[in-house]
Amino acid sequence: MKHIILVFLLFPIMIWSQSNFDKAEKLFKEEKYEQAQSLFESVLKSNSSDLKTIEYLGDIAGYNKSWDKAIVYYKKLKILKPSEADYYYKYGGALGMKAKETSKFKALGMIDEVKGSFEKAMSLNPKHIESRWALIELYIQLPGIVGGSESKAIKYSNELLRLSPVDGYLSRGHIEEYFKRYKVAEQQYKKAILIGGSKISYQKLANLYKNKMREPEKAKLVLETYNKKSSR
């Protein structure tokens, strides 16, 4: 009897919490992050372990570049559900962004945890594409003396090629572009267009022509080709 009474007492709270969550989720999808945050925080007060609410609050903190807040939320997600690859990926991403904004000395002490988070995401989900992209970015941007490595970036790009050919070609093009090998980057982006024809593939090639190779007419032609293709 006591259990039945407890259910009836909690039922209105559960309904209220779900109603607020639905409203908050709608606001989030409409990119009204400040309003969504307020509602998500109220939901969290009634259910401090709700994974989706915590994730949304972490995402909002990331959008606002409040990396310390984002790290706290994503760390809590890792503790609550240590088997979820995305939580490690998001935690590593927030930690990496914080490292970029802190002193070089402090950043050095964070690099291993950033790498480890992405690697953990891949161990939990061997097909995790976003973590490989993150490691590519990390390895090409870090100086060699603190662990930067083009060969490791290429290794993850090759893994992407096996998992998702479009991501493989785009990531290899990104590496080549970063190291100013623009002709090779051009070839990789063209392969991505041939195999997938995604908007981002055309944009990457157009941006390469316009911003790096100083060929605006080629950039214009690439975008026109995409627009014609997508309007059919």
Token pair 């970029």 in the structure block, residue = 100
Rounded distance between C-alpha atoms, residue 220 and residue 202, angstroms: 11
pLDDT in the model for residue 11: 45
pLDDT in the model for residue 147: 77
Rounded distance between C-alpha atoms, residue 141 and residue 189, angstroms: 20
Instruction: Print pLDDT tens along the chain (232 aa).
Output: 545 444 444 444 444 456 889 999 999 999 999 999 999 999 999 889 999 999 999 999 999 999 999 999 999 999 999 999 999 999 999 999 999 888 888 888 899 999 999 999 999 999 999 999 999 999 999 877 667 899 999 999 999 999 999 999 999 999 999 999 999 999 999 999 999 889 999 999 999 999 999 999 999 999 999 998 887 7
pLDDT in the model for residue 100: 86
**Region at 51 (left for phi over 0; alpha for psi -120 to 50; beta for the rest):** alpha
DSSP symbol at 208:
I
